[in-house]
Amino acid sequence: MFLSLVLLGLCICFIILHLTPRRPKNFPPGPPVLPILGNILHLNLKNPLEDFEKLRKSYGNVYSLFLGPRPSVVINGVKAMKEAMVIKAAEFAGRPQNTISQDVNKGNGFIFSDYGPSWKEHRRFSLMTMRNFGLGKKSMEERIHGEIQYIIKTLDNNIGKTLTPQIMFHNVASNIMCQVVFGTRYEYDDEFITTIVQSAIEITKAANGPWTTLYSSFPWIRKLPLPFNKSFKAVKRCSDLVLQSLNEHKKTRVPGEPRDFLDCYLDELDKKAEDSTFSEEKLIFTAIDLMIAGTDTTSNTLLTAFLYLINHPHIQERCQQEIDRVLEGKDQVCFDDRHQMPYMQAVIHEVQRIANTVPLSVFHCTTKDTELAGYSIPKGTRIIQNLTTVLKEEGQWKYPHEFNPGNFLNDQGEFVKPDAFMPFSAGPRVCLGEGLARMELFLIMVTLLRKFKFIWPEDAGEPDYTPVFGITMTPKPYPMKVQHRL
């Protein structure tokens, strides 16, 4: 009996040791690892940012975690981030495989696809096409100004009333992307845009959420009816709508005379080379990626901007004084006016910093065996960029923990952009829509601040600045009142 118990105990110890993940030689340090679970219990999966910060203080700016049996390396701070994402960019530009993102889009698109010929070809094509359709030029400005008129109409109809701006800003950002991708703008109650907006919200909220982490860590739970299945349903809804639009484009397009992104891609398919990676399936997921990337990030940044401007009226007023001075006698703002508005530029960049819209970026992985901060990182290791530590790093910012446009102004009041400003990450995987987002934020904010005064309702209580965690950080719904400026 005693011998049997000893043997049983030895077997249990052997199984535990066998199932306990081990850090490779010279791997970044981290907390003790549990069998099977790894370090899952060290994190609040609903919002792990505070836990990441505690681990950084214990183990340094480059440390490791096991989310299940797989190792991950968490990168913190400007120095480590630049080494990985800029200096050794290609070595850290992969995407983790066998994840929910990979399964949802089947390896297509450009956000979650792996670093390779297809990704490079589609990213290059997408950048070129967006530039050709006026990114940074008058035609893009005209599209944005056209959509701004619908915001103005909504606000005009709510003068003196209390409204919540969430849906309004989501619809505006989504409609601007709809014009680029599909060549059409939609009424805000149209089923197409409401489905796209709601699906984008569901997809981005799920992508870094707790169930998604468990999905990636424990493959055996994937067939269970758990909440991560919402992502598959949301992407299916989006792909059905894109396919519907694609079929309509095929009937009405004139080859060589593209109206939008879909037409450009169809032209590319017409002249498809033997080694091309282009296909209709990839087109559908690339269009979805553009819609997701261009909707949630911009709308959440706008929501953050007005939440802070409403509750910092002195900053709002100073913006309006600069806008009035620069735009005196002009019908509308243009993107080039930003060069004469250093304070407005500082406010917009400070909003992006404080919004921290994509706090953990999109997970990367190493494409080869490499090194970081003196540690050895094997090929295929998941890389988590903690951009929060960069955007609030002590020594990089004058006021790292408060909303203050002075973070982007020098002693002469001129606009400056510190090296630590990287809300869209850096390197080859830097956000594709960063240029469009900058233009949208400037034109929308300046136009609205020129025409309206935004006020926190007296009966609304104290503002809650704590965002809802996800792959994008979303401000909690809040109220505001609007007045016409005299």
Distances (CA, A) of 47 to 147, 223, 296, 425, 427: 34, 25, 18, 20, 26
Average pLDDT of span 397-413: 96
Count how many Cα atoms sit within 13 Å of the Cα of residue 404 in the half-sphere of its side chain. 11
442 vs 228 pLDDT, higher one: 442
Residue 96: in which H helix or E strand, if any?
none
Contact 196, 237 (CB under 8 A): no
- In the chain, the percentage of residues whose pLDDT exceeds 90 is 51
Measured torsion, CA atoms of residues 51, 56, 61, 63, in degrees rounded to the nearest 10: -80
Which pLDDT does position 41 carry in this prediction?
A: 85
Average pLDDT along the chain? 86
Which pLDDT does position 138 carry in this prediction?
A: 57
Model confidence at 20, pLDDT cuts 50, 70, 90, reads low
Distances (CA, A) of 48 to 53, 101, 263, 470: 9, 19, 42, 10
Domain ranges of the chain: 2-484
Number of residues in the chain: 486
Average pLDDT of span 351-366: 92
Fold exhibited by the domain 2-484:
Cytochrome p450 (1.10.630)
* Cα(133)–Cα(250) distance, integer angstroms: 19
Burial class (CB in 10 A: 0-12, 13-18, 19+), 401: exposed
pLDDT of 136 higher than 70: no
Q: Which range, of 31-40, 336-345, 370-379, 475-484, averages the lowest pLDDT?
A: 31-40
Q: Across the strands, what pairs with 72? A: 65, 382
pLDDT digits (tens, 9 = 90+) for 228-273: 777 778 888 888 989 999 999 999 999 988 888 999 999 988 887 7
Which pLDDT does position 133 carry in this prediction?
A: 63
Average pLDDT of span 9-36: 69
Contact 179, 172 (CB under 8 A): no
Which pLDDT does position 262 carry in this prediction?
A: 92
Which pLDDT does position 204 carry in this prediction?
A: 66
pTM: 0.89
* Cα(194)–Cα(171) distance, integer angstroms: 8
Highest mean pLDDT among 36-50, 92-106, 163-177, 366-380: 366-380
Average pLDDT of span 188-212: 72
pLDDT digits (tens, 9 = 90+) for 279-326: 888 998 888 888 888 888 899 999 999 999 999 999 999 999 999 999
Contact 98, 106 (CB under 8 A): no
- In the chain, the percentage of residues whose pLDDT exceeds 70 is 89
Strand residue runs (E) in 106-194: 162-163
Measured torsion, CA atoms of residues 303, 305, 311, 314, in degrees rounded to the nearest 10: -160
299 vs 203 pLDDT, higher one: 299
Q: In this structure, are strands 70-76 and 382-386 parallel, antiparallel, or unpaired?
A: parallel
* Cα(237)–Cα(283) distance, integer angstroms: 15
